[in-house]
Structure 1
Amino acid sequence: MARGAAFLGSETAILCGAMSWVSERNLVSAISNAGGFGVIACGAMTPELLDTEIAATKALTDKPFGVNLITMHPALFDLIAVCAKHKVSHVVLAGGLPPKGSVEAIKETGAKVICFAPTLALGKKLLRSGADALVIEGSEAGGHIGPVSTSVLAQEILPALAADNLVFVAGGIGRGEMIASYLEMGAAGVQLGTRFAAATESIAHPDFKKAFFRASAREAVASVQVDPRLPVIPVRALKNKGTEEFTAKQVEVAKLLDAGEVDMGEAQLQIEHYWAGALRRAVIEGDVENGSVMAGQSVGMVSKEEPVADIIAGLMGECEAALARA
């Protein structure tokens, strides 16, 4: 973990996953101030909004923090320029392969580049393309997920890459003993989201947090794709009325498609638009029945609201005890 902490400039190599509407100035600064590494979730923000958010975060902490940018954002290069203006130390690229020139553009600003690697082959390609570190995230994570579990990805990727490269592990991590096991396999650190989403400093609605406290691991389910013609990006969230209605909506649209009442483009748009604003409804407005309550399977280990500093201290205590026993 010393390697990871030195790279991030933090006391511990515990990153906070970038969660839209949750990983904003309050949570990010609290995590960095507590010795972890906060990451702003840019999501669909405009360059102007990101500019404001970075400035507001800098007003709350003098510790390093990162910014997560979505590779398919239409204004990606403008967002990179905003990060450069504020001398952001680390940029995390998520949501697909970085477009041509983006890694170089970030590195020209002096920032470090962290990329998500869903497979060993892509991990090697990203490192060759200039990525300074990788995050490998398993399907147990909340939000947008890949198809492979964290434990399998770790076994596949860490032995091959961790000796010579910085690899952070994410997805389904809720306790320090799990962190210890990945460190023993060569990881430089870990990334957690679900534990931090319900922290005291998180601006998430009280009802959003209560949904976490009530939930078990099996209630954090991946979205179902009913018809292969209607692409659904897998997202892990708590099962609720909204997830059930989404399945019904897919069936309804597939029938319209079969009947020739809508064309393929319109059908796919209807599916895409269904969840528009659903995460904000849950996180900010507290509509946990109809909104998208994104959560990882470690949600079963989240039982109460705790300050970020206590969460990090607890994880590190469990991790150190496990390593001492080993």
Structure 2
Amino acid sequence: MARGCEFLGTDYAIMGGAMSWISERNLVSAISNAGGFGVIACGAMEPHMLDTEIAETKKRTDKPFGVNLITMHPMLDELIDVCARHEVSHIVLAGGLPPGKAIEKIKGFGAKLVCFAPALALAKKLVRSGVDALVIEGMEAGGHIGPVSTSVLAQEILPELAQELPIFVAGGIGRGTAMLGYLESGAAGVQLGTRFVCATECIAHANFKKAFIRAPARDAIASTQIDPRLPVIPVRALKNKGTEEFNRKQIEVAKLLDAGEIEMGEAQLQIEHFWAGALKRAVIDGDVENGSIMAGQSVGMVKAEEPVADIIATLMQEAATAIEERRAATAA
């Protein structure tokens, strides 16, 4: 983990996944205080909201943390300005290939830039554009997902690029043994989201956490794309009435698109806003029937509510035990 720890400035190369409404001041600071690397999920926040969130997080930790920004956000420039004013050390850009201007602006104020790479070709393009680190996240993850599994992405990308820059692996990681496997394959660290949702420091509603604790892996399903003319990035969430509502929303937006009433960018933004609202209903209001319970397939390994420090300690102990058992077997 040494390379990842050095890059993040942490004790452990464990990043918190940026989850809207969940990865806020309390959970982010708790992850950082426990030796990991918390990441604020900006999502659909406006600049003044992000400004407050960063300031409040700083009050709760003096350890490094990052901010996750969505490339399609209409106020991306202003959000980057907020991060610059606060001297945020690391920015994680998600949602496609970032515009060159954004990369220059982020690098210009000295922040480390981390980007998601859902394919080897895109990973290589990002490296050429000057990003400082990559996150490769497989389809087992919660929230927005790509079409390829974590294990396949790791096999494709790590041998090719792990020597060039730090790469963090995400998606479906629930135990320290899996974390260890990716580290031994060349990863500099890992990113976990689902595993932290039931942290005691997480503000998610009790109903939301109970849904996680009860759910088996197979209940975390990917959304379907209804209309091929409206490219929708699939979202993995626990199946409920909310997943059915999303299908209706897609049909509604596709009709507006066909009628020429909205442009493609606006259509995709409406889909994003739908998810943000549905997620808030579940996370904040506790409506786990109609809201969106975004969860990765590792949800089946979430068994109880516990402090962030205990979650990280368990992951590290599981990895250490696996190493010790291997050494003992070799010595015997």
For normalisation by structure 2, the TM-score amounts to 0.92
Runs of 4+, deviation exceeding 6 Å: 251-254
Q: Report how many residues are paired.
A: 321
Rounded to whole Å, the distance in 1 between the matches of 2:106 and 2:284 is 31
Conservation of the 8 A alpha-carbon contact between 1:230 and 1:267: no
2:313 is aligned with 1:313: yes
Q: Tell me the amino acid that sits aligned with residue 209 of structure 2.
A: K
Conservation of the 8 A alpha-carbon contact between 2:146 and 2:233: no
> Counterpart in 2 of 1:157?
157
5+ residue gaps, structure 2, are 327-332
Once the two structures are superposed, the pairs formed by residues 77-116 of structure 1 within 5 Å of their partners are 77-116=77-116
Conservation of the 8 A alpha-carbon contact between 1:253 and 1:267: no
Change (3 A) 1:85 1:266: closer
> Counterpart in 2 of 1:282?
282
Change (3 A) 1:53 1:246: closer
Rounded to whole Å, the distance in 2 between the matches of 1:200 and 1:291 is 21
| TM-superposed deviation, 1:306 | 0.7
| TM-superposed deviation, 1:267 | 11
Rounded to whole Å, the distance in 2 between the matches of 1:253 and 1:71 is 21
> Counterpart in 1 of 2:294?
294
Q: Tell me the amino acid that sits aligned with residue 164 of structure 1.
A: E
> Counterpart in 2 of 1:194?
194
Change (3 A) 1:276 1:8: closer
Which deviates more, 13-22 or 82-91?
82-91
SS at match of 1:310: helix
| TM-superposed deviation, 1:252 | 8.2
2:282 is aligned with 1:263: no
Q: Tell me the amino acid that sits aligned with residue 301 of structure 1.
A: M
Once the two structures are superposed, the pairs formed by residues 1-326 of structure 1 within 5 Å of their partners are 1-247=1-247, 263=259, 265=261, 269=267, 272=271, 275=275, 277-326=277-326
Q: Tell me the amino acid that sits aligned with residue 12 of structure 1.
A: Y
Change (3 A) 1:264 1:235: farther
Q: Tell me the amino acid that sits aligned with residue 116 of structure 1.
A: F
Conservation of the 8 A alpha-carbon contact between 1:12 and 1:36: yes
Rounded to whole Å, the distance in 1 between the matches of 2:65 and 2:315 is 20
Which deviates more, 96-105 or 36-45?
96-105
| TM-superposed deviation, 1:110 | 1.1
Rounded to whole Å, the distance in 2 between the matches of 1:94 and 1:229 is 23
5+ residue gaps, structure 1, are none
Which deviates more, 278-287 or 237-246?
237-246
Q: Percent identical across equivalent pairs?
A: 73
> Counterpart in 1 of 2:330?
none
Conservation of the 8 A alpha-carbon contact between 2:28 and 2:65: yes
| TM-superposed deviation, 1:184 | 0.6
Rounded to whole Å, the distance in 1 between the matches of 2:229 and 2:114 is 33
Change (3 A) 1:276 1:188: closer
CA-atom RMSD, angstroms?
Answer: 2.0
